[in-house]
Amino acid sequence: MEFHSCQQRLASVLLLCFWMLFIRAHGSRKRSRRYKTTTTRSWDFLGLNYQNPSELLRRSNYGEDIIIGVVDTGIWPESRSFNDKGYGPVPARWKGVCQVGEGWGSNNCSRKIIGARFYHAGVDEDDLKIDYLSPRDVNGHGTHTASTAAGSVVEAVSFHGLAAGTARGGAPRARIAVYKGGAGSGNSATVLAAIDDAIHDGVDVLSLSLGTLENSFGALHAVQKGITVVYAATNFGPAPQVVRNTAPWVITVAASKIDRSFPTVITLGDKRQIVGQSMYYYEGNNSSGSSFRLLAYGGLCTKDDLNGTDVKGRIVLCISIEISPLVLFPLALKTVLGAGASGLIFAQYTTDLLGITTACNGTACVLVDLESANLIASYISEASSPMAKIEAARTITGEGVLAPKVAAFSSRGPSVDYPDIIKPDIAAPGSNILAAMKDHYQLGTGTSMATPHVAGVVALLKALHPDWSPAAIKSAIVTTASVTDERGMPILAEGVPRKIADPFDYGGGNINPNRAADPGLIYDIDPSDYNKFFGCIIKTSVSCNATTLPGYHLNLPSIALPDLRNPTTVSRTVTNVGEVNAVYHAEIQSPPGVKMVVEPTVLVFDAANKVHTFKVSFSPLWKLQGDYTFGSLTWHNEKKSVRIPIAVRITIQDFYADVA
């Protein structure tokens, strides 16, 4: 894969996860904007174990015949993840096509990949030269996401022995329809064309692991046709206000980490051992990490820092404090290897950028935190001949790993386009996810990887509840999400510094598929209601005016009040989809600084009363130009808990820049 220099791409979006480095997306001044595309353990971690299937997997028959449309960089049909053995005929309702092209014939579609299209209008000529003019995936990104959502079961896969296990999609019996945006990136024209075709073809779910520079009004047409649309939140975190794809009718997905780590032991010459993290593996005869080597201090490991330092054959300690590790690591790696070093110990503040070490390609390199780096640096300065040995990484899973956590790169809210709507909606696994790439399996990181996890869950829910609307499915996912880990500890959000996660990190929380299958209550929305709030007109295309009503009046499974000055009341309506006779009680967690009242506090459902509306009133306790505080409202009984996140900001002045 091609690695573009950070200097060339400082203004562009990286959603090619982390097999490329983060690179910011720049908007073209052309009419069509370009979009950069941004599983072993993850599905088990979410409670969807294939060998011991949950009720959701059994009752949905693993997503049988649900059609997932994947708008991405194409697909590699020969991958074992798309084997169609045991599949029945293509669903009769399918109206799509298998578009032939370069390196792609009609035989590349199957009972698994039931349709494939590609689009190249408006795609740069340089991009077209390095790609197939067909649905075939030269990049690998689309193959990775498609196999994560709906890949068939493939046993005994790994990344050079790491993360070994059985790869599969969340809905392994679902069908896949491919919509290739073109050359590893799409633009607004190709993406809109793909969505229009997907609506016509008859997909049930759309998964789009790409970042847009405007909100996806094109997706509204799909939602109004009953298609659930799932978008990536993008990878600009941990900065606030950078979440993308924030239209209220789509599901916007943040990335979280699973209970798997790759500890790597560094043994110093004085026998002390320090455990870092890496993707280091022994390759062929290259086992330099298994023996002691001289250890050198390289500072930032720029050419200036290493000037005059003999690092040939040595392991070099590099420390990143003032410069982002995303920028410094590839430069340090290139510099030390160019100087003949045998390995790299790279120190950074506590974060989760393990994916950058895949660029080491078998070279002994490992990430450590600043505390560990200080210990190593002290040893280097004190020892007459400092030595170190780096062992290959191991794979550890289970309770000993703190998880889930929101990944540092995952884009955070609030939405600058719609601050009266909480975004992202949900978090799902998106860090070091093993899935198909061409004929092998690769670890990928990014909200691009989190998005197909949600799309796979949506497919299962759609199979189980075919009459549920996209809003109902979204509600079930958001209101049943986890905000604590299995020990009852709050989910953390990686960042600078690490903190307890809030709704702008993960929306409702980390996805819990089995609970979403039976949520008890749902917050449903008639798709035509979006027109009232956004003035949207759908004819041959979609056009939307400025918000005509505050978005917090939509019946969303969340409440956001970005400018609370006076008492404000919003209403919500819930529909009982659980036991016919049920009583729910309100549990209120008021945002600090806000008085919050719910009326009524008890909802009684029976055969004649399946729907109830309630009001939530908010009053500021102080008069100030404040910041967001967070709370929640939970309807619960002895069996169910239906929680929505709440974000409120007290203000006294319009358009007041929060910069000091």
Q: Where are the domains of the chain?
A: 62-255+402-517, 263-394, 558-650
Instruction: Residue 70: name the closest of 103, 37, 45, 34 by CA.
Output: 37
Q: Phi first, then psi: what are they for 157, rounded to 5°?
A: -115, 160
The per-residue DSSP string of 510-539 comes to: B--HHHHTS-SEE----TTHHHHHH-EEES
User: What contacts 603, CB < 8 A, 6 or more positions away?
Assistant: 574, 583, 584, 586, 612, 614, 635
Give me 513's structure tokens. 């598929």
Q: Mind listing the pLDDT tens digit for each residue in 440-482?
A: 999 999 999 999 999 999 999 999 999 999 999 999 999 999 9
Q: Which amino acid is at 454?
A: V
> What own/partner pairs with CB < 8 Å and gap ≥ 24 does 295-298 have?
295/268, 295/269, 295/376, 295/379, 295/380, 295/386, 295/387, 295/388, 296/341, 296/380, 296/386, 297/377, 297/380, 297/381, 298/332, 298/336
Tokens describing residue 128 = 């077209």
Residue 127 has pLDDT above 90, yes or no: no
User: CA-to-CA distance for 643 and 634, rounded, in angstroms?
Assistant: 4
d(CA 419, CA 551): 8
Q: pLDDT-derived band of residue 414, with 50, 70 and 90 as boundaries? A: very high
CA distance 194 to 653: 43
Active site residue 469: no
The percent of residues above 90 in pLDDT, for the chain, comes to 73
What's the CATH number of domain 263-394, 3.40.50.620, 3.50.30.30, 3.40.50.300, 3.40.50.1100? 3.50.30.30
Q: Look at residue 5 and tell me whether its pLDDT is greater than 50.
A: no
The DSSP letter of residue 624 is: S
Please pick, among 42, 60, 65, 141, the residue that the annotation labels catalytic. 141
How are the residues of the chain apportioned to helix, strand and coil, as percentages rounded to the nearest 5?
A: 20, 30, 50
Q: Say yes or no to pLDDT of 8 above 80.
A: no
Q: Cβ(279)–Cβ(308) under 8 Å?
A: no
In angstroms, rounded to a whole number, what is the distance separating the alpha carbons of residues 462 and 585? Answer: 28
- H or E element at residue 433: strand 433-437
| Whether the predicted pLDDT of 133 surpasses 70 | yes
Q: Which of 124-133, 162-171, 262-271 has the lowest mean pLDDT?
A: 124-133
Length reported for the chain? 660
| Mean pLDDT (the chain, rounded) | 88
**160 noted as active-site residue:** no
Residue 383 in tokens: 């020892």
283 — pLDDT class (breaks 50, 70, 90) = low
Strand, coil or helix: 176 = strand
Q: Does residue 296 have a pLDDT over 60?
A: yes
Rounded Cα–Cα distance for residues 508 and 598 (Å): 19
Q: What is the pLDDT of residues 214-228, one digit of tens each?
A: 556 779 999 999 999
Of 95, 85, 82, 90, residue with least CA distance to 145: 82
DSSP strand pairing (492-493 vs 364-369): unpaired
Predicted pLDDT at 213: 53
658 catalytically annotated? no
For the residues 141-160, what does the mean pLDDT come to?
95
| Range 558-650: architecture per CATH | Sandwich (2.60)
Q: Which of 320, 448, 482, 590 is catalytic?
A: 448
Helix (H) or strand (E) holding 332, with range, is: helix 325-338
| The architecture CATH gives domain 62-255+402-517 | 3-Layer(aba) Sandwich (3.40)
Backbone angles phi, psi at 610, to 5 degrees: -95, -15
Which one of 72, 131, 352, 518 is the catalytic residue?
A: 72
Is the separation of the CB atoms in 171 and 150 below 8 Å? yes
Helix axes 447-464, 141-150, angle to 10 degrees: 30
pLDDT band, very low/low/confident/very high, at 532 (cuts 50, 70, 90): confident
113, pLDDT greater than 70: yes
pLDDT for residue 39 is more than 70 = no
